[in-house]
Amino acid sequence: MSYKFKAICLKFSLIAGSLLLLQTIYAQKNFSELEKAVEAQKTILGNDLVVIIANADSITYQKEYGNFNNKTQAPIASSGKWLTAALIMQLVDEGKISLDDKISKYLPVFESYGKNYITIRHCLSHQTGIQGPANILERMFDRKKFNTLDEEVTEFAKKEIQNNPGLDFRYNNMGLNIAGRIAEVVTKKKFDALIKLRLFTPLGMRNTTFSTLDGTAPNPSGGAKSTAVDYTKFLQMLLNNGKFGGKQILSEASVAELKKVQVTKEQIKYAPKAAEGFTYALGSWVEEGSGAIGGSATTLACPGLFGTWPLIDFSRSYACVFFVKNLLSEQKADAYLGLKKIIDKQYNSK
């Protein structure tokens, strides 16, 4: 047998083996019910959609609809909050900051305006007590005025206080953007460059960015663009206790911290309709798990305004992302929760 023929046979064997492996992986689960349900919900979800389900080290299901594929980049709005919270926890791991540090330690302007008691933890859990914008249109208009995160956060310092920090939960963009600015101060790097260096590059998230095209300030709360396959890598890292590709991206302690409940339902004074009934951790919503502060979530999710809904079910050991590009509605949220129940049937709870 010639060397060339042997090489061809070896190559064919490797391909056949890979296909057999994929067939085995998919054979373990039956997602036909999920596919029927997605088709039935197309009028709500939209025609362009990617669904990916993964365990800690491999993708177990993937389906692309319409003009979207797993590498289609689109804005993910508030789904970026989870990414920003993870970056902040990396800085905690490195000893550069503590979650219970006062933000005035890094941003003295907040002390100048009498906001001495707000902590980084308050920022990541929407408990700063600062008066937020009246509506999303006001928030989007305000951001256009700022060329840097420093300029925007300085304006936050001047706003009125609604209540003492740590008492009320009001969902908005201020807390995560303050935390993002602190990350800039302690590392002396711009936020969009920093999160690319520390998080996206190690995870191989090549098509994820917080950089803006018009030179305005990056938005750590809602300015990311990503792809379904990129975001899945982030979810897999958290599902695998902070490890990805053989590297420890986040410590196990930091992953555990990201899962801790930070507010009770009674503290929630404002939440989007799509998230009503959930509590909150650090940068993500608690769909399932303990309702007590300090308790651990079993399912975390981070839905965005443009419809993307990433989640991790820690008790069933899977991650999932529904990746779309149209506005999130209460009706769409109900659809996603229904689809999750179908996926749950294929997994055994621990």
Burial 25-35 (b: 16+ CB within 10 A, else e): eeeebebeebe
Tell me what percent of the residues of the chain surpass a pLDDT of 90. Answer: 77
Average the pLDDT over 125-139 and give the result: 77
Q: What is the pLDDT of residue 210?
A: 97
On average, the pLDDT of the chain sits at 89
Residue 106 has pLDDT above 60, yes or no: yes
Measured CA to CA in angstroms, residue 198 lies from 87, 101, 147, 182 at distances of 7, 21, 23, 15
Average the pLDDT over 24-48 and give the result: 83
Helix (H) or strand (E) holding 318: strand 318-324
Cβ pair 289, 295 in contact under 8 A = yes
Helix (H) or strand (E) holding 319: strand 318-324
Query: For 241-272, how does the pLDDT look when each residue is reduced to its tens digit (9 = 90+)?
Result: 999 999 999 999 999 999 999 999 999 999 99
Average the pLDDT over 327-332 and give the result: 76
Q: pLDDT-derived band of residue 142, with 50, 70 and 90 as boundaries?
A: low
Q: pLDDT-derived band of residue 276, with 50, 70 and 90 as boundaries?
A: confident
> Structure tokens of 317?
């050991």
Residue 123 has pLDDT above 90, yes or no: yes
Query: For 146-164, how does the pLDDT look when each residue is reduced to its tens digit (9 = 90+)?
Result: 899 999 999 999 999 999 9
Alpha helices in 260-345 (DSSP H): 330-344
Average the pLDDT over 120-126 and give the result: 98
Q: What is the SS3 assignment for 92-136? A: HHCCCCCCCCEHHHCCCHHHHCCCCCCEHHHHHCCCCCECCCCCH
Query: For 179-189, how does the pLDDT look when each residue is reduced to its tens digit (9 = 90+)?
Result: 999 999 999 99
Q: pLDDT-derived band of residue 54, with 50, 70 and 90 as boundaries?
A: very high
Find the range with the poorest average confidence among 3-12, 95-104, 227-236, 242-251: 3-12
Average the pLDDT over 287-297 and give the result: 92
Q: What is the pLDDT of residue 17?
A: 43
Domains and CATH numbers, the chain: 31-344 (3.40.710.10)
Residue 10 has pLDDT above 50, yes or no: no
Helix (H) or strand (E) holding 226: strand 224-226
